[in-house]
Structures are given as structure tokens and as C-alpha cells.
């Protein structure tokens, strides 16, 4: 009696083990399709400024008066504001966990220590960028040395608009020559600066210096330079489309405006770019600052765009960045 029972038990155990073994992939969490975020800032968290934030906060530009305090940059008046990380470690942990969950790769700018730490946590998924927005930032030699060291693969975020400079200003020309010579892609801030940037922190900021046409002279001087226009030159859609039409290698990212302006406005802008035929030149970017959940919030805007096909969404979230940054697609499989 005892031996057959034991045998039956062992057989049953063996069969159960086989079932578990062969069904294992069903139990494993399915891998998310890869996403590349081309616009992630990594700066040290300043607890004094790490306040919560309501996405699409620019849906209602407040009225004001120059004799009163300037408008606040953010709006925290909504049901569920996004929580700001209060420490560097909290931001790092949240970013690592989102990157793993969403199978993300990021192009990132900012504090080299924080970038190195992120590279260690998610190896092969962090592409560091170094930005120069005015010749006061660093010498051309220092810039070239930084790129030649091999750590930085991208030039960005270049934001001369905040300095009151055009991207074609000759004081930046030698930096672009270096990027062109070393085959380094360049991301340039053009357009949006929120509500009242010139009143709040950047008195030299000029809306007119976000005009995408201002890139043309610089592009003519550097025909081999590969650039993308950050924030897609919002809100200058006609100029953006004309520039992309005339310059076949110019791409855009959707960073910043995708979570700050009213959603109908964002969709109208994105739809217009796609409708004009530039679906292969739009890249996903968050403009991540201190709110970890901003990534999911912003990706949700793309996912919910009912005028985009599945393939168009994949182009924006992944394929276009692979092509633009000349990445090896097989590494994402």
C-alpha cells in the first residue's frame, strides 16, 4: 500500500513541476515595449523648491499686474498634484523603478554624479548629455575635452533663449563645430518657457528667440550637424513645419509642453506635426525635473492620442529616437 502511494505522489509532484516549468513565462511579468525619453534633467533636489505640481497647469494663465509679485511658475491647485521628490535618493529610486517597469532608456543632462549613479543602477540605459547655452558656461576646449572623454554622447540641453541669444549667435558657433566634427547630436531649447518666464527668473528670455527659423543660419554653417528642437518650438507650429521641411535631418521632442499646456492644445500641436507628415521626426521627451510620476503622466498623453496609430505611437516613443541617436536596436530586444 505504502509504496504505490508514494510513487503516485512522486509522479504527481513531477507532473506539477513540469507544468510550472513550462508555464513559467506566463507567470513572469510581460516586458514593456521599450521607450526612449530624450529629455531627462538630473539635478540635485532643492527641498525649498520641490513643491508638488498639477500637470497641464498652464490651462488657465492668471491675470496679473506688474506692481504685484510675479506669477508663480507652477500651479498646485488641483485634486491630485504630482508629488515632488524631496531628496536625491528618493528621485533616484523612483526613476530607476519607473525605468525598469517601463523598459526605458533616457538621454539625460545635469549633475554628472547623479548621472553616473543612474548608469550604475540601470546599465546601458542612460545616455549622458552636456549643454552649453553661452560661452560663459565653459571654454570650447573644456567642452571638446568633455565630449572626447567618451562619457557624454549628446550636446544638450542648449538653451540660448534664456540668455537672450539666438542659437545662430556666433558666440556659440565653435561649440557647434565641435559637435559636428565629433558627430554628436545636439538638442536645442526653442519656444515654450511657461507663463511669465521673463518676469519670473529669466529677464533676458525672449519669446521671439524661440522662433525655429533662427536655427537656419547655424544649420547652414554646419551641414553635418544633427539637431533636434526641444519642445518642438511650441507654439510656432508653422515655422517648425517649414524648418523641418527645408532641413531634412531636424527632429523635435515633445518635452515640457506635453505636461504643462492644456491637453487640447497639446494634441492639436502634435496632430498638426503628424498631419504635416513628420511622424518619423518626433521623439518622446518628458523634461523630467523633480516629479517622478511626470513620466507616466506624459506617456499617457501619447497613449491616449486617438488620432495616432499604434505604429505612429511606437515611432514617437521609441523608433525615431533609435534612428536619430544611431542606437543599436538589437540591444533593446
- Nearest approach in angstroms of CB 55 to Zn ion is 17
- In the complex, least distance from residue 323 CB atom to Zn ion, rounded to whole angstroms: 22
Number of neighbouring beta carbons within 10 Å of residue 278: 19
Closer to Zn ion at the Cβ: 205 or 319? 205
Cα angle: 135, vertex 88, 119; to 5 degrees: 75
Nearer to Zn ion by Cβ, of 240 and 308: the residue is 240
192, 189, 214: which is closest to 134 by C-alpha?
Answer: 189
To Zn ion, the closest distance from the beta carbon of 236 in angstroms equals 15
Instruction: Looking at residues 99 to 138 of the shown chain, list those that interact with Zn ion (rule: CB under 5 A).
Output: none
Question: CB-wise, 159 or 270, nearer to Zn ion?
Answer: 159
CB of 187 to Zn ion, least distance (A): 8
Cβ neighbour number for residue 49 with a 10 Å cutoff: 11
User: Residue 180 or residue 287: which is nearer to Zn ion going by CB?
Assistant: 287
Give the residue with the Cβ less far from Zn ion, 157 or 315. 157
By beta carbon distance, the residue nearest Zn ion is: 189
Do residues 89 and 113 lie in contact, with contact meaning Cβ atoms separated by under 8 Å?
Answer: no
Cα dihedral value 307, 312, 314, 315, nearest 10 = -140
- b/e 166-178 (16+ beta carbons within 10 angstroms → b): bbbbeebeebbeb
Q: How many C-beta atoms surround the C-beta of residue 64 within 10 A?
A: 13
In the complex, what is the shortest distance from the CB of residue 162 to Zn ion, in angstroms, rounded to a whole number?
9
Smallest distance from Zn ion to CB 208, Å: 16
295-320 burial, b for 16+ CB within 10 Å, e for fewer? bebbbebbeebeebeeebbbbbbbbb
CB 231 → Zn ion: shortest distance, Å?
A: 6
C-alpha cell at 212: 525655429
User: What is the nearest approach in angstroms of Zn ion to the Cβ of residue 88?
Assistant: 21
Output 192 or 319, the one with its CB closest to Zn ion: 192
State the burial class of residue 79 (Cβ atoms within 10 Å of its Cβ: 0-12, 13-18, 19+): exposed
Closer to Zn ion at the Cβ: 34 or 259? 259
Total residues in contact with Zn ion, by rule CB under 5 A: 2
Binding mask 205-244 for Zn ion (x = CB under 5 A): -------------------------x--------------
If you count DSSP H runs as helices and E runs as strands, how many of each does the chain have, helices first? 13, 8
Q: Which of residues 163-202 bind Zn ion (CB under 5 A)?
A: 189
Other C-beta atoms lying within 10 Å of the C-beta of residue 136: 9
Among the listed residues 138, 260, 161, 145, the one whose alpha carbon sits nearest the alpha carbon of residue 207: 161
Instruction: Choose between 157 and 239: whose C-beta lies nearer to Zn ion.
Output: 157
Q: By CB under 5 A, tell whether 153 contacts Zn ion.
A: no
- Which residues does residue 186 pair with via DSSP β-bridges, in sequence order? 155, 227
Per CB under 5 A, residues contacting Zn ion are 189, 230
Amino acid at each position: 500500500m505504502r509504496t504505490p502511494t508514494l510513487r503516485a505522489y512522486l509522479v504527481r509532484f513531477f507532473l506539477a513541476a513540469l507544468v510550472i516549468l513550462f508555464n513559467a513565462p506566463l507567470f513572469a511579468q510581460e516586458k514593456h515595449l521599450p521607450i526612449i525619453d530624450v529629455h531627462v534633467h538630473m539635478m540635485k533636489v532643492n527641498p525649498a523648491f520641490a513643491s508638488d505640481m498639477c500637470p497641464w497647469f498652464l490651462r488657465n494663465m492668471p491675470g496679473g499686474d506688474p506692481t504685484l509679485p510675479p506669477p508663480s511658475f507652477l500651479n498646485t491647485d488641483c485634486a491630485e498634484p504630482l508629488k515632488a521628490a524631496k531628496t536625491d535618493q528618493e528621485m533616484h529610486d523612483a526613476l530607476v523603478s519607473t525605468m525598469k517597469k517601463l523598459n526605458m532608456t533616457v538621454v539625460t543632462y545635469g549633475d554628472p554624479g547623479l548621472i553616473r549613479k543612474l548608469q550604475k543602477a540601470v546599465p546601458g540605459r542612460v545616455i549622458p548629455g552636456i549643454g552649453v547655452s553661452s560661452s560663459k558656461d565653459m571654454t570650447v576646449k573644456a567642452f571638446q575635452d568633455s565630449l572626447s572623454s567618451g562619457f557624454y554622447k549628446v550636446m544638450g540641453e542648449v538653451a540660448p533663449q534664456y540668455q537672450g541669444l539666438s542659437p545662430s549667435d556666433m558666440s556659440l558657433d565653435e561649440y557647434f563645430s565641435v559637435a559636428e566634427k565629433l558627430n554628436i547630436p545636439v538638442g536645442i531649447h526653442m519656444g515654450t518657457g511657461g507663463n511669465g518666464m521673463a518676469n519670473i527668473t529669466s529677464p533676458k528670455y525672449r519669446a521671439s528667440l524661440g522662433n525655429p527659423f533662427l536655427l537656419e543660419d547655424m544649420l547652414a554653417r554646419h551641414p553635418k550637424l544633427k539637431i533636434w528642437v526641444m519642445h518642438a518650438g511650441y507654439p510656432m507650429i508653422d515655422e517648425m513645419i517649414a524648418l523641418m521641411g527645408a532641413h531634412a535631418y531636424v527632429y523635435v521632442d515633445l518635452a515640457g509642453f506635453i505636461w504643462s499646456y492644456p491637453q487640447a492644445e497639446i494634441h492639436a500641436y502634435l496632430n498638426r506635426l503628424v498631419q504635416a507628415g513628420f511622424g518619423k521626426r518626433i521623439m518622446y521627451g518628458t523634461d523630467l525635473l523633480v516629479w517622478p510620476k511626470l513620466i507616466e503622466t506624459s506617456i499617457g498623453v501619447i497613449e491616449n492620442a486617438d488620432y495616432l496609430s499604434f505604429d505612429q505611437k511606437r515611432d514617437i516613443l521609441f523608433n525615431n529616437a533609435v534612428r536619430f541617436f544611431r542606437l543599436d536596436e538589437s540591444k533593446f530586444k
